A and B are shown apart, each in its own frame.
Chain A
Amino acid sequence: MSDGLSVELAHYLSVSGIIFGIGIAVALSKRNAIAVLMGIELMLNAVNLAFIAFARLGGNFEAAGGDPLAGHVFVVFVLTVAAAEAAVALALAVLVYRRRETVDLDRITLMRW
């Protein structure tokens, strides 16, 4: 093959970093509570991507006592907690909508003094 770029660890981590940045932008800029939740899901996916990239391509960490299987297992736990978080957060959003007829975060000022 030519001396073109091969896909390296840095490429995967760059994609992960870009998704994480966009996730922060979504979570901070949107006013809809469910859109903020989407941003959090994006950030969690970025973290998972970094975990898997290191587990597969960070082979030189293995010599230092690293364990690629631990990365996979951690991703499974992150997925579990993310699903639980999504369920509870959406239940909260539905409850807030029922009480206050909106999920606009700028209008949910119950705890502002």
Chain B
Amino acid sequence: MLNRLPIPAQFDRIIVVGATIAVLGALPIAAVLIALLLLDELTAPEVVFWAVAALIVAGALGTVLLPNIVHAAVSLVATLLGVAGIYLLLGSEFLALVQLLVYGGGVTILLLFGLMLTRAADDPVIADGAQKPFAFGVAALIGGIFVAAVLDANWSQTDAAAIGIRDIGQRLFRDYGVPFEIASLVLLVALIGAIAIARSDQPEPEAAEAEEVTT
């Protein structure tokens, strides 16, 4: 059983190869951005934004284009971490930390666990469905319309003040107390539901004995 799990040999290879490709792809972008920064064409926040935006889009493209599902999951992590970087750039430290914990930690580990439990490591490549051109067409249509509309609109942007953790906490627990409790209830139901769904139908011997003890 243990030697079926894709650690450490396969993950090492993924990390080394993936990191090499990522660094090779990032070097030209970083060089151009730093050159523009030194030439005073870009300010530091702009450089950070473009670098993080490149990371996000590259990770998302990797998720959709890489045929190996484990590689796609690792590529997704780059996008999730990049989104945390954008949160930091927008002055939302709290949400950046939550993004790192929930997505960079929790959801990623859940996805990789799901992949391992469904033996994705044995046969990691399930070809894309026959609806692939249709899917890409729909994605290009919706994404294109959204981006075009955003770029076309006149936003007349004004910066709101940066929001501290204290303000978020006060708002969350005072004004949104009831939704907060409902959200915790949702988490509880999801926890119990996930255990109830994924539990095997035949209870293991120790579990059966434990049930007899409690009844």
Residue ranges of A at the interface with B (Cβ–Cβ < 8 Å): 1-2, 4-15, 17-35, 37-39, 41-42, 45, 48-49, 52-53, 55-60, 62, 68-70, 72-73, 75-77, 79-88, 90-95, 97-98, 103-106
A42 near B191 with CB under 8 A, answer: no
Assembled-state Cα–Cα distance A25/B72 (Å): 13
Within 8 A of A (CB), among B125-150: 126-129, 131-132, 134-136, 138-140, 142-144, 146-147, 150
Assembled-state Cα–Cα distance A62/B7 (Å): 50
Assembled-state Cα–Cα distance A81/B180 (Å): 11
Assembled-state Cα–Cα distance A77/B113 (Å): 24
A56 near B90 with CB under 8 A, answer: yes
User: What range describes how many residues of B lie at the interface?
Assistant: 35 or more
If A22-B63, A59-B160, A84-B189 are given as contacts, then 20 extra A-B residue pairs at C-beta distance below 8 Å, sorted by A number, are: A15-B56, A18-B60, A19-B83, A25-B139, A25-B140, A29-B128, A29-B129, A31-B126, A33-B118, A34-B69, A34-B114, A38-B76, A39-B63, A55-B160, A56-B90, A72-B95, A76-B172, A83-B107, A88-B193, A90-B110
Tell which of A11, A30, A42, A72 touches B92, judged by Cβ atoms closer than 8 Å: A72
User: How many residue pairs between the two chains, A and B, have CB atoms under 8 Å in the bound complex?
Assistant: 266
